[in-house]
Amino acid sequence: MKTISLIILVLILTSVSCRQKQSLHDAGNQGYEVRYATGYTVKRHADYTEVNVRDPWDTLKYLQRYVLIQREKPVPTLLPEGTVVKVPLRKVAVAAAVHCSILEMLGLGETITGVCESRYIRIEAIHQGIKEGKIIDIGEAAAPDVERFVELAPDAMITSPLNNSPYGGLDKTGIPQIKCVDYMEASPLGRAEWIRFLGLFTGKEHVADSIFNVIVAEYEAALKLTLNVANHPTVITEKRYGSTWWVAGGKSYIANMFRDAAVDYYWYDDNHTGSLPLSFETVFENAHNADYWLIRYNQNKDMTYSDLQNEYMPYSRFAAYQNRRIFACNTAKVAYYEEVAARPDYLLKDFIKIFHPQLLPNYELRYYKPME
């Protein structure tokens, strides 16, 4: 009987322990829900917040774990393994234009004290800050100037790691890197939700939530316009660079937005979430009869049909060229890369206006315009 009683006692204690652990797990997730993004998770704890960034190149691993502690509070004695970051961040360096834009959206432009490749950033406040010496250009994103970076002494650097490659020698400085892999999200709203991720680090959670709710509402309102569209025109994107024509993969952010815009895209059956390298011949064979052609480029002068033909004569054999249905986005003149990741509703409306103009009769294109 004693043995049986002991076994029962052990089972009871085990059950209580499991319930306690489950309760702690639930408490860790209480109060924060990631709604669309798949690249990060958040767990609340009494003395800290745990933010895990998934490794998009190895889904069985985490790319980084951050342990966020309020700046004015002491560091708790028992913490999980990870990069401890005192929040809110007061002074940051930023590698990508899109994250500069998000900080501006959060009302935190003054926290930006360093950027990479300022020549590609179409944000007036950044260039004004550089002129006034308030913001320092720390060089190329792939290889920042470590000496300038150390002198800058930011609380953290917001990066966009490419296949988890290091940012020069920044790993050795001891300054935290906030790794944003938002560009690997396949869902437009999933990518936009990284504004909430940065809100966690900057003390702007409520502001980020409010902005994101507006983005969701605007995107879903635009999406409703296309639900009953019967005619789905076909589309191809971009043009060749060198010998390669990079098209959006069938499970990519752009392909998913084409689905939402009620468009037929030739590579929906492809499983890539990023870009797909193809030859000109392959693209032409599959898509030469496409109704529309969208091209992004970066140059001082707007591209024309003549420019396109002079660049590569076979382009003129596409139906969209012959029917004058090419729409172009000159990223040297519009803030495409700064805005689109955080405001997919803007791009979706552009697509709807191009492919189904009757659905948005009073809308003016924001990024694309008809090629002349």
Find the mean pLDDT for residues 315-330: 98
The pLDDT of residue 148: 95
| Other CB atoms within 10 Å distance of the CB of residue 275 | 16
Average pLDDT of span 286-292: 98
DSSP code of 138? Answer: -
- Token digits for 359? 């659905």
Is pLDDT above 90 for 23? no
Q: What is the pLDDT of residue 80?
A: 94
* Strand stretches in 266-366, DSSP E: 275-278, 292-297, 326-330
Q: What is the average pLDDT value for the chain, to the nearest integer?
A: 91
Q: Does position 10 have pLDDT exceeding 80, yes or no?
A: no
54: β partners: 62
Domains of the chain, by residue range, sit at 29-216, 227-370
CA distances from 97 to 106, 107, 225, 240, 306 (A): 14, 15, 31, 24, 31
Residue 18 pLDDT more than 70?
no
Facing residues of 157 across strands?
93, 177
Burial of 345 from C-beta contacts in 10 A (0-12 / 13-18 / 19+): buried
Judge whether residue 322 has pLDDT over 50.
yes
What is residue 278's three-state secondary structure?
strand
Strands (DSSP E) along the chain, which ranges?
40-44, 49-54, 62-70, 83-87, 92-94, 112-115, 136-137, 156-159, 177-179, 234-237, 240-241, 244-248, 264-265, 275-278, 292-297, 326-330, 369-370
CA distances from 94 to 64, 117, 217 (A): 18, 10, 28
Report, as an integer, the average pLDDT of 37-52: 96
Whether this prediction's pTM lies above 0.75 is answered by yes
Judging by DSSP bridges, how do beta strands 156-159 and 369-370 pair with one another? unpaired
Any bridge partners for residue 139, and if so which?
144
CB atoms within 10 A of CB 116: 26
* Mean pLDDT on 211-216: 98
CA torsion through residues 10, 16, 18, 20, sign: negative
pLDDT band at 24 (very low <50, low <70, confident <90, very high): very low
For the residues 278-302, what does the mean pLDDT come to?
Answer: 97
Looking at residue 225, its pLDDT comes to 98
* 356 vs 18 pLDDT, higher one: 356
Average pLDDT over residues 3-11: 40
Dihedral sign, CA of 238, 241, 245, 248? negative
Q: Give domain 227-370's CATH number out of 3.40.50.10860, 3.40.50.2300, 2.40.100.10, 3.40.50.1980.
A: 3.40.50.1980
pLDDT, position 46: 92
As beta bridge partners, residue 278 has: 245
Mean pLDDT on 118-142: 95
CA–CA distance, 221 with 224 (Å, rounded to integer):
5
29-216: CATH architecture: 3-Layer(aba) Sandwich (3.40)
The answer to whether the 29-216 and 227-370 domains have the same CATH topology is: yes
